């Protein structure tokens, strides 16, 4: 049997980071930046007002106070977007709006709240120190300064600064496109009537959602029956739009295992047992001319889910150009005794709870079978029991991976 770590290492050695692609800014959310982006201009590009008020010379309002207001004639009105070059002479004021360029000669802005709001002349009842409410050119970014480096995941704030630095298009590692195919003659679409021996297909929905949660583009290709030729046809049709494929089911020891039957002869997909519980039967390799990675996950829903978390998610991160880190874990106290098969790493479903003092406890959910998807849906963590441990007493400290 392969160890969990060996299987993951083989996957990560095989998958490649996707080639960079230039995309419109609107398409860049959730991708990874593949170039250093600098601003061609300082940001802000010009000195401007941070408040609605009056641009003046600080010396002219230095003596202003509630009992000694200063009255200045208002000579201009400057709004944001006004490109005219204004100037404020000594003893004068310009009405100015937030974001408007600071007129030459002005060295402070008096907020409108400190004045009577006059338009022909303004009465100022509070002194504004030099530089008050002024945003200087280049205060956020100097001209030519790098605002984002290659490898940065693009979220909304990053997309914002790319636009703010004037970029319309940007070079990124795209979100991997992942096709999800489930297999099994027993599967029918949710919403349709169940016949004898049938179940609703949950894996294709769950895995497609997991792909999207992982920041990739998931395409649910539905389910195929237990027929290897049909499976290969479906796979072939999907490969054109796939950077990776996930299948569920059809990989264990039964008489009808279409995935194994169809892919084994290719010699590029290896099926093996991985020393874990759940998720023992695993397959991974590449298919098609473009050597598209394929993850053939076991059909039991909980096994499929855990396999995704352990093997597919890190691979998608590598494909997207993101660093692959081991899953974050925390220490918690086992609320009940736990059992694990010898020689296999167990991932038991649990609720991780913290008491008022911040102590973490892992409460295993009722129903640890790899078919018990409802139990998984109530869990928020996986308790990891190492290969060499078969019994964990209540109260022992365990390693827990929050979901």
Assess 184 for contact with ligand MOO (CB under 6 A).
no
Q: Which does 199 bind (CB under 5 to 8 A by kind): ligand LQZAQKY5, ligand MOO, none?
A: ligand LQZAQKY5
Segments in 274-390 forming alpha helices (H): 301-307, 313-319, 373-378
Comparing CA positions, the residue from 84, 87, 91 lying closest to residue 57 is 91
Query: Is position 277 an interface residue for ligand MOO (rule: CB under 6 A)?
Result: yes
Interacting residue with ligand LQZAQKY5 among 127, 162, 187, 400 (CB under 6 A):
187
Q: Site map for ligand MOO, 299-328, x if CB under 6 A?
A: -x--x-------------------------
Question: Does 184 help bind ligand LQZAQKY5 (rule: CB under 6 A)?
Answer: yes
Q: Does residue number 278 form part of the binding site for ligand MOO (CB under 6 A)? A: yes
As a whole number of angstroms, the longest Cα–Cα distance in the chain is: 97
Q: Which of 224, 280, 316, 362 binds ligand MOO (CB under 6 A)?
A: 280
340 binds ligand MOO, rule: CB under 6 A:
no
Q: Residue 225, interface with ligand LQZAQKY5 (CB under 6 A)?
A: no
What span, in angstroms and rounded, lies between the C-alpha atoms of 6 and 281? 14
The span from the CA of 260 to the CA of 258, in Å, is 6
* Binding of ligand MOO by 249 (CB under 6 A): no
Phi, psi at 218, each rounded to 5°? -100, 135
Q: Omega before 138 cis (within 30°)?
A: no
Cβ contacts of residue 245 below 8 Å, gap of 6+? 178, 179, 180, 181, 235, 238, 239, 287, 292, 293, 294, 295
Instruction: Name which of 267, 309, 311, 304 is nearest 285 in CA terms.
Output: 267
In angstroms, how far is CA 169 from the centroid of its own chain?
A: 20
Instruction: Give the residue with the Cβ less far from ligand LQZAQKY5, 32 or 204.
Output: 204
Of ligand MOO, ligand LQZAQKY5, none, which one does residue 174 interact with (CB within 5 to 8 Å by kind)? none
Applying CB under 6 A, the span of 29-37, 52-60, 200-208, 393-401 interacting with ligand LQZAQKY5 comes to: 200-208
Query: With respect to ligand MOO, which residue has the nearer C-beta, 129 or 343?
Result: 343
Give the start-end residues of each E strand in 340-390: 345-354, 360-364, 381-385
Q: For binding to ligand LQZAQKY5 (CB under 6 A), which residues are involved?
A: 182, 184, 186-187, 199, 201-204, 248-254, 257, 278, 280-281, 298-301, 303, 370-371
């Amino acid at each position: 049997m392969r160890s969990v770590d060996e299987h993951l290492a083989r996957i990560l050695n095989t998958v490649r980071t996707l080639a960079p692609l230039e995309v419109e800014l609107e398409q860049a959310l959730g991708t990874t930046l593949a170039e250093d982006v600098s601003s061609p201009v300082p940001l802000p590009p010009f000195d401007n007002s941070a408040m609605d008020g009056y641009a003046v010379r600080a010396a002219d309002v230095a003596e202003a106070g509630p009992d000694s207001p200063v009255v200045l004639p208002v000579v201009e009105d400057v709004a944001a977007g006004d490109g005219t070059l204004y100037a404020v002479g000594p003893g004068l004021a310009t009405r100015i709006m937030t974001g408007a360029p600071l007129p030459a000669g002005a060295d402070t802005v008096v907020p409108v709240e400190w004045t009577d709001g006059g338009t022909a002349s303004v009465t100022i009842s509070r002194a504004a120190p030099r530089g008050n409410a002024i945003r200087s050119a280049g205060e956020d970014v100097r001209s030519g300064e790098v605002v984002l480096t290659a490898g940065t995941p693009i979220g909304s704030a990053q997309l914002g600064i790319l636009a703010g630095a004037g970029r319309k298009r940007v070079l990124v590692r795209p979100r991997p496109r992942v096709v999800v195919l489930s297999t099994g003659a027993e599967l029918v679409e949710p919403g349709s009537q169940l016949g004898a021996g049938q179940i609703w297909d949950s894996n294709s929905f769950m895995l497609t959602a997991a792909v999207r949660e992982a920041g990739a583009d998931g395409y649910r290709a539905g389910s195929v029956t237990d027929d290897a030729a049909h499976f290969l046809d479906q796979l072939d049709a999907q490969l054109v739009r796939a950077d990776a494929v996930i299948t569920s089911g059809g990989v264990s020891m039964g008489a009808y295992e279409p995935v194994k039957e169809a892919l084994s002869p290719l010699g590029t997909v290896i099926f093996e047992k991985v020393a874990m519980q759940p998720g023992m039967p695993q397959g991974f390799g590449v298919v098609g001319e473009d050597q598209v990675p394929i993850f053939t996950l076991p059909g039991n829903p909980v096994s499929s889910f855990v396999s995704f978390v352990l093997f597919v998610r890190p691979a998608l991160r590598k494909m997207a150009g993101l660093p692959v880190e081991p899953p974050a874990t925390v220490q918690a106290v086992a609320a009940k005794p736990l059992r694990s098969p010898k020689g296999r790493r167990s991932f038991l479903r649990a609720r991780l709870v913290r008491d008022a003092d911040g102590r973490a406890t892992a409460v295993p959910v009722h129903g640890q079978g790899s078919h018990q998807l409802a139990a998984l849906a109530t869990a928020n963590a996986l308790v990891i029991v190492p290969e060499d441990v078969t019994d964990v007493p209540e109260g022992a400290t365990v390693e827990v991976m929050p979901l």
